[in-house]
């Protein structure tokens, strides 16, 4: 197997060869479905009010990867999105900018031009997104193209077919190679949990991606249902928490798809806070992959500050 960005010595054995990798992944503790869903629902009842809500809204805004991944995307659409990313609420300059704009590779140049000097990252999906059904060469070329065009973050997809048929070494190797192709760009590894189906698979895929050097593990492409769910995110947060306990390294989590309301976003932040820990409440370590979420956050922010709800006509649609 390709040498990974050497995992810490405690885990070096896990990636020695294909069978060690399999043994390691299958040796991870199982996930009880009923238990993790119960815990996620229980934490979902936290009541976040007043100052803590406002803080959560601003934090969530700063964690948004504002995303457009449509066949119909145009330069105009991407420019509009970039403008929104810089000033999410034009009338309220104190609203923080979002973390990144996420586009297809051919739109990276446009986004990069608009966002130059803003500190907002340009994220590009790559590796034959969303299905990942192509050859490794094409996936690597896709990645290199995105980085060359100016992407500072790459959202790759794993080969779910290979994963589900137990070819963990192949999945691992692909991630390692894509990571190499990324250069300095941060790598988010999309597991597409809706196709992995079981929580045990989500846990194994999370560790596989972390072992291979992924900076982030991401739930979904947004093209498959179900996309992000709270219990799946719990399992992934447990993985980065345990990764830190074993290696001292901090890795990130990004739920994507289906998170549309402030209420939902706050439930995710509560999970980050209480499952992974307060350290992860940081755009470097937690992101929301979303398009419509931002406007709901902005509306709720106004409601918190103005004391009344103003409605969707007072936020911009881009």
Partner 1 sequence: MWEYAPAPESRDIANLKPSYKMFVDGKFVEGTGEPLKTVNPATEEVLAEVSTASQSDVDTAVKAARKAYDRVWSKMPGSERAKYIYRIARQIQERGRELAVLESLDNGKPIKESRDVDVPTAASHFFYHAGWADKLGYAGYGPDPQPLGVAGQVIPWNFPLLMAAWKIAPALACGNTVVLKPAETTPLTALVLADVIQQCDLPPGVVNIIPGAGDVGAALVGHEDVNKVAFTGSTDVGKVIQGRLAGTSKKLTLELGGKAANIVFDDAPLDQAVEGIVNGIFFNQGHVCCAGSRLLVQESIADELVEKLHARVSTLRVGDPLDKNTDVGAINSREQLTRIKELTESGDAEGAQRWTSSCPLPDKGFFFAPTVFSNVSQAMRIAREEIFGPVLSVLTFRTPEEAVAKANNTPYGLSAGIWTEKGSRILWMAQRMRAGVVWSNTFNRFDPTAPFGGYQESGFGREGGRTGLEAYLDV
Contact call for residue 53 and partner 1 (CB under 8 A):
yes
> What is the C-alpha to C-alpha distance for residues 27 and 43, in angstroms, rounded to an integer?
28
Contact call for residue 282 and partner 1 (CB under 8 A):
no
Size of the site for partner 1 (CB under 8 A): 27
Contact call for residue 198 and partner 1 (CB under 8 A):
no
CB-count burial class (<10 Å; 0-12, 13-18, 19+) for 85: buried
Contact call for residue 45 and partner 1 (CB under 8 A):
yes
> What is the C-alpha to C-alpha distance for residues 265 and 260, in angstroms, rounded to an integer?
8
Contact call for residue 273 and partner 1 (CB under 8 A):
yes
Contact call for residue 46 and partner 1 (CB under 8 A):
yes
Closer residue to partner 1, CB minimum distance, 50 or 308: 50
Q: Would you say 198 and 164 are in contact if contact means Cβ atoms under 8 Å apart?
A: no
| DSSP assignment string, 221-263 | -SSSSS---HHHHHHHHHHHHHHHHHH----EEE-BSS--SHH
Contact call for residue 248 and partner 1 (CB under 8 A):
no
Closer residue to partner 1, CB minimum distance, 156 or 275: 275
Closer residue to partner 1, CB minimum distance, 125 or 265: 265
For partner 1, which residue of 3, 9, 51, 137 counts as binding (CB under 8 A)? 51
Contact call for residue 157 and partner 1 (CB under 8 A):
no
3-state helix, strand, coil in the chain (%, to 5): 55, 10, 35
Contact call for residue 36 and partner 1 (CB under 8 A):
yes
Nearest distance, CB of residue 231 and partner 1, angstroms: 11
The encoded tokens of residue 219 equal: 């739930």
Closer residue to partner 1, CB minimum distance, 55 or 133: 55
DSSP 65: E
Nearest distance, CB of residue 31 and partner 1, angstroms: 6
> What is the C-alpha to C-alpha distance for residues 150 and 136, in angstroms, rounded to an integer?
21
Q: How far is CA 29 from CA 32, 36, 56, in A?
A: 10, 13, 32
Sheet holding 216-218, edge to edge: 252-254, 216-218, 186-190, 153-157, 121-125, 100-103, 64-67, 288-290
For partner 1, which residue of 152, 206, 233, 238 counts as binding (CB under 8 A)? 238
Q: Mind telling me the catalytic residues?
A: 155, 218, 254
Contact call for residue 31 and partner 1 (CB under 8 A):
yes
Q: Would you say 290 and 252 are in contact if contact means Cβ atoms under 8 Å apart?
A: no
Contact call for residue 165 and partner 1 (CB under 8 A):
no
Of 32-40, 135-143, 222-230, 302-310, which part binds partner 1 (CB under 8 A)?
Answer: 32-40
Contact call for residue 250 and partner 1 (CB under 8 A):
no
DSSP 17: S
Contact call for residue 18 and partner 1 (CB under 8 A):
no
Q: In the complex, which residues of this chain contact partner 1 (CB under 8 A)?
A: 29-32, 34-36, 38-39, 45-53, 55-56, 59, 238, 269, 273-274, 278, 281
């Amino acid at each position: 197997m390709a040498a990974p960005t050497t995992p810490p010595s405690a885990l070096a054995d896990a990636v020695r060869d294909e069978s060690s990798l399999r043994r390691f992944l299958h040796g991870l503790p199982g996930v009880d479905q009923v238990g993790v869903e119960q815990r996620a629902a229980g934490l979902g009842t936290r009541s976040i009010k007043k100052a803590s809500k406002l803080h959560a809204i601003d934090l969530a805004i700063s964690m948004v990867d504002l995303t457009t991944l449509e066949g119909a995307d145009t330069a105009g659409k991407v420019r509009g999105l970039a403008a929104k990313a810089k000033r999410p609420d034009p009338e309220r300059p104190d609203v923080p900018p979002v973390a990144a704009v996420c586009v297809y590779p051919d739109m990276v140049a446009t986004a990069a031009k608009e966002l130059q000097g803003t500190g907002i990252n340009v994220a590009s999906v790559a590796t034959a997104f969303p299905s990942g059904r192509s050859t490794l060469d094409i996936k690597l070329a896709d990645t290199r193209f995105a980085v060359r065009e100016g992407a500072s973050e790459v959202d790759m997809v794993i080969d779910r077919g290979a994963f589900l048929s137990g070819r963990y070494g192949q999945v691992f190797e692909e991630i390692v190679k894509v990571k190499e192709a990324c250069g300095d760009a941060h790598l988010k590894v999309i597991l597409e949990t809706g196709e992995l189906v079981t929580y045990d698979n989500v846990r194994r895929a999370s560790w596989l991606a972390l072992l291979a050097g992924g900076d982030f593990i991401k739930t979904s492409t947004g093209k498959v249902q179900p996309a992000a769910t709270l219990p799946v995110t719990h399992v992934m947060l447990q993985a980065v928490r345990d990764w830190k306990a074993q290696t001292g390294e901090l890795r990130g989590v990004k739920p994507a798809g289906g998170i549309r309301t402030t209420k939902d976003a706050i439930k995710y932040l509560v999970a980050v806070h209480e499952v992974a820990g307060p350290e992860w409440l940081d755009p470097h370590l937690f992101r929301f992959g979303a398009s419509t979420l931002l406007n709901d956050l902005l509306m709720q922010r106004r409601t918190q500050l103005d004391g009344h709800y103003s409605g969707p006509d007072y936020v911009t649609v881009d």
